[in-house]
Structure 1
Amino acid sequence: MENDLLSISRLFFCGMDVYMLYRFFSAMFVKKIEKKKYVIINIAITAIIFFENSVGSIALNFFTMPLLYYAYVRTLFSISKSNSMAYTIIYFAFAGSRELSFELLYRFLLRVLPVYISPWYESGGIYLLLIQYSASFLLLLFIEKYIKKLEIGVHNAFSWYLLIVPILSLMVSVSFLHIEFPESLITQIAMCGGSFSLFFTNVVIFIILARYTDAMNKIKYAELYNVKRHMEEEHLQNILKLNEDYQRYMHDIHTYFNSFRMLAASGENNKIVEIIDELKGEIQEKTSGVIYSGHPVLNAILSERVLTAKEKGIQLSIFVEKFLKVDFISDADMISMFGNLLDNALEAAGRCSPENRKVNIKIFKGNNYFLIFYIENSYAVAVMRKGERFLSTKANSKGHGLGIGIVVNLAEKYGGTLNLEEKEDFFITTLAISTCARE
């Protein structure tokens, strides 16, 4: 029969290769391009694979397919170079082991069946390919079921460990092809069965290792989360101490004023001037703070960030609605929510040029049932996303981004939501929490 490598059916199988590659990666990673571009890229990569397959060179496919797959994955998904390389090799090992297993099956059927079976590159070989791709797709659905909910992450230090079994399996399968097919029927069955068993075992081990990797990542995240919470508890104690000092200073000032009143009534004006001169520096230091809120912890949080803004040369404006009640929020949760969001805003604004460092803060009641914590801040570094989630833009992102996770969890605790949005030159953070949460 004639070579069938340029037929429509072969184009269909090339499209299936690309589709299964997409399904494998989309189960673990987030797509980063819009649908229109995605369709164009899929058509282009399918056409490239189709024309490359038409050459009929197995060696060419073996060396170029991983590169094509890698370029495809890097273009479509939010994934690091190391992860894209590791998982591309894993997928290619799966696809290669599958094809090698079915090649052994073809040789076995050619020996035992009385009829001629066309090889894969002839038109008659399409039926064996249909079986092969149908089995592959069902196996992909099986893999997808177990890896779809995994949080692999853009960066994953464990991904390279997953390569061990797929690569070894591919090497064993390749060695089978270079061994002369045995005459013994039992040995032939054992060889084919062993190849398929190795392939399926490979898949199962990958799923187990992937789930283990996910568990290790979650444990690592939980440890970092606990460390951050512990640091915030220490931060709470510092703020409470700052607030105690503030209240003590204010009490002392009232004591001074009472003394001045008594001295003034006695006509001791010179004594008043003397005391003021002596305590001038201390009084100025103790009365330099601004009271933003009647709640001591919230006031301390804002006062502390005012000092940070001054150090970084950030134009900071703060509006707190008069008589605002925030007693329904625990002190620790208030520091975690408001402190994390303010720190993120000040850090982002601090990266801007000096004339463009701006942060605007508003805390008010949206209605009788919701408290709104609203921040606008300038930013210079483009914000990265993973789906609806914003990622850290720091060079070393490990451990960063936990603050937003903490705020989201606490917002849910208080029956609220956290919304993050980019709007022109400002990044807008809106935290809405229910005032009835405690009830």
Structure 2
Amino acid sequence: MPPVSRIIEVTLYSLLNFLPFLALALYPFRHSLRFSKGVTVALFGLLTVIQILLGAWVCFIPGTHGSIASAVSTLLYGMFYFLAVKKHFGKTLFILLMISNLANLTVISAKCLEGIFFPALATQNYRWSFSLMLFTIEIVLAVPVFLYMKSIFTPAVEKEPSGFEWKFLWLIPATFYLVWYSAMYSVISRSALEIALQPKNSVFLFVINVGAFLIYYVVARLILEQSKTLELQEKNHQLTMQAVQYENLQKKIEDARRVKHDVRHHILLMQEYLNSGELEALREYLSRYSESLPDDSLVRFCENNAANTLLLYFAQQAKDHGIDYIVKAQIPKDFFISDTDISALFGNLLENALDACKEEKEDGRKIIVRAGMTGGSFCATVDNTFTGSLRYTGDGDLISTKHKGHGLGTQSVKIIAEKYHGICRLESRDGMFFASVMCQRE
């Protein structure tokens, strides 16, 4: 029976060499686990026990079991990871290889430091000195690596682009793995221990990992930009389809107005004929029918058809939800902003204003629209009731309250403003949200 102190040393090393890295690899997929949290934790615990037993086997059972134990450990590690995470295979393999490269850097650097500070213990397996150096390096790396994973890589992993990218992106960490492995272990005459004890090898691994993480950063940014572009394209497509629907709606309203006018004229003629008769009941019925018809004064907010269609549509939406809707717009029929852009501009602003008002519980909800030309510039403001709080990204973009990530509607408005050499300003105060846009003629 080995001493208790040695059992503790082996257990401590096995935990430090396993738990932090597996937890870090699972973090980006914490919302995409295949099993419930209870089952996942149980499997995690079972795998931890197996890792400890493998370490004890290598340390306490005579023979050269290190390579076999390492292969079994790696196999079980990968099986658990791919079983527990329900994501694209290439995506999980990318993270697994990335964390494996980091783990190898940590272990080899820890052994190198052990050789410097505890040379007598460095040639022995799983001593407390090795665990101490391993723990020290993990503490140093914990904060920057976790922040990197949280703020840079996890958002990219959570995106769901076409999936084609991840079929090949895993080759990047795989290539780094092959580069450092072949460079360090190509000389057969050197043992793994001798390689780990040489400081130059730790420095080499550190440089390799720094370069790798810079490339991972570029990959993550490209994926996020691609996803943002696709989302904006989808949003603009939806707005274009809405604009078509709005135009069809306006045509239907105009047709209904013409029909209504004919019906009203018919009713008036019949009432005139009936005035000299005795059919009082029929006259009363026709009177009620006439009063039930909507007002025949079709609302027109401005001369610009695209803007008027949007303003008219959201006027009805606001009315349906009991929201006061005030418009003062003087937008000419033809001016320097295209119909597509003016539709997207008002569509995004009014949709956001309507959604915000629908979330408000108090009375007095309102949307106020002002728009018109000032010299060579077009100015538009859409103000609405809003008692919530705004959150911004590090780049100053507004974070959506309806989904994760940037507010696509406000992002589209900003893009349109920049296209016409203008600005977009969004702020809230005193129970109102204020959106202001200014576009300039070239």
With the length of structure 1 as denominator, give the TM-score of the two structures. 0.54
Q: Which moves more between the two structures, 95-104 or 219-228? A: 95-104
CA 1:287/1:106 → structure 2, altered by over 3 Å: closer, same or farther? Answer: same
* SS of residue in 2 equivalent to 1:290: coil
How do 1:1-80 residues align onto structure 2 when only pairs under 5 Å count?
none
Aligned-pair CA distance for 1:340: 0.4
Q: Report Cα offsets for 1:345-375 as digits up to 9, x if no partner.
A: 111121112314222111123x211111112
* Distance in 2 of aligned mates of 1:358 and 1:417: 24
* Distance in 2 of aligned mates of 1:315 and 1:94: 58
Residue 330 in 1 paired to residue 313 in 2?
no
* Conserved 8 A contact 2:271-2:286: no
Aligned-pair CA distance for 1:103: 6.6
* Distance in 2 of aligned mates of 1:97 and 1:306: 62
* Distance in 1 of aligned mates of 2:274 and 2:301: 30
Pick aligned residue for 1:239 from 235, 246, 249:
246
How do 1:150-169 residues align onto structure 2 when only pairs under 5 Å count?
156-157=157-158
Q: Report Cα offsets for 1:114-165 as digits up to 9, x if no partner.
A: xxxxxxxxxxxxxxxxxx9xxx9xxx9xxxxxx9xx9768685279x99x97
* Distance in 2 of aligned mates of 1:108 and 1:369: 73
Pick aligned residue for 2:388 from 374, 378, 381:
381
* Distance in 2 of aligned mates of 1:208 and 1:108: 32
Q: Report Cα offsets for 1:353-411 as digits up to 9, x if no partner.
A: 2314222111123x2111111122111332111132110112x326x621212111111
* Distance in 2 of aligned mates of 1:225 and 1:272: 61
Corresponding residue for 1:342? Answer: 350
* Distance in 2 of aligned mates of 1:165 and 1:334: 46
* Conserved 8 A contact 1:94-1:203: no
* SS of residue in 2 equivalent to 1:385: coil
* Distance in 2 of aligned mates of 1:411 and 1:151: 28
Q: Which moves more between the two structures, 239-248 or 369-378? A: 239-248
Aligned-pair CA distance for 1:302: 0.9
Pick aligned residue for 1:312 from 314, 317, 321:
321
Corresponding residue for 1:203? Answer: 210
* Conserved 8 A contact 2:111-2:197: no
* Conserved 8 A contact 1:320-1:364: yes
Percent of residue pairs bearing the same amino acid type: 21
CA 1:409/1:284 → structure 2, altered by over 3 Å: closer, same or farther? Answer: same
Residue 297 in 1 paired to residue 298 in 2?
no
Residue 410 in 1 paired to residue 408 in 2?
no
* Distance in 1 of aligned mates of 2:432 and 2:156: 28
CA 1:242/1:302 → structure 2, altered by over 3 Å: closer, same or farther? Answer: same
* Conserved 8 A contact 1:80-1:155: no
* Conserved 8 A contact 2:243-2:310: no
CA 1:152/1:290 → structure 2, altered by over 3 Å: closer, same or farther? Answer: farther
Corresponding residue for 1:287? Answer: 296
* Conserved 8 A contact 2:152-2:220: no
Corresponding residue for 2:232? Answer: 225
Amino acid in the other structure paired with 2:416: L
* Distance in 1 of aligned mates of 2:248 and 2:287: 26
* Distance in 1 of aligned mates of 2:328 and 2:292: 26
Amino acid in the other structure paired with 2:430: E
Amino acid in the other structure paired with 1:311: D
Corresponding residue for 1:270? Answer: 272
Corresponding residue for 1:4? Answer: none
* Distance in 2 of aligned mates of 1:151 and 1:105: 30
Q: Which moves more between the two structures, 233-242 or 203-212? A: 203-212
Aligned-pair CA distance for 1:230: 1.6
CA 1:359/1:278 → structure 2, altered by over 3 Å: closer, same or farther? Answer: same
* Conserved 8 A contact 1:158-1:213: no
Amino acid in the other structure paired with 2:407: G
Amino acid in the other structure paired with 2:322: G
Residue 427 in 1 paired to residue 439 in 2?
no
Question: Structure 2: 5+ residue runs without aligned partners?
Answer: 1-11, 32-94, 120-136, 161-168, 276-282
Residue 391 in 1 paired to residue 399 in 2?
yes
Aligned-pair CA distance for 1:309: 0.9
Q: How many corresponding residue pairs?
A: 317
Pick aligned residue for 1:369 from 369, 376, 386:
376
* Distance in 2 of aligned mates of 1:429 and 1:221: 22
Corresponding residue for 2:367? Answer: 359
Q: Report Cα offsets for 1:215-261 as digits up to 9, x if no partner.
A: 2222222222222222122112112222333444555677789x89x
Question: Structure 1: 5+ residue runs without aligned partners?
Answer: 1-57, 71-78, 112-131, 141-146, 177-182
Corresponding residue for 2:4? Answer: none
* Distance in 1 of aligned mates of 2:209 and 2:336: 54
Aligned-pair CA distance for 1:195: 3.0
* Distance in 1 of aligned mates of 2:388 and 2:288: 46
RMSD value over aligned CA atoms? 5.6
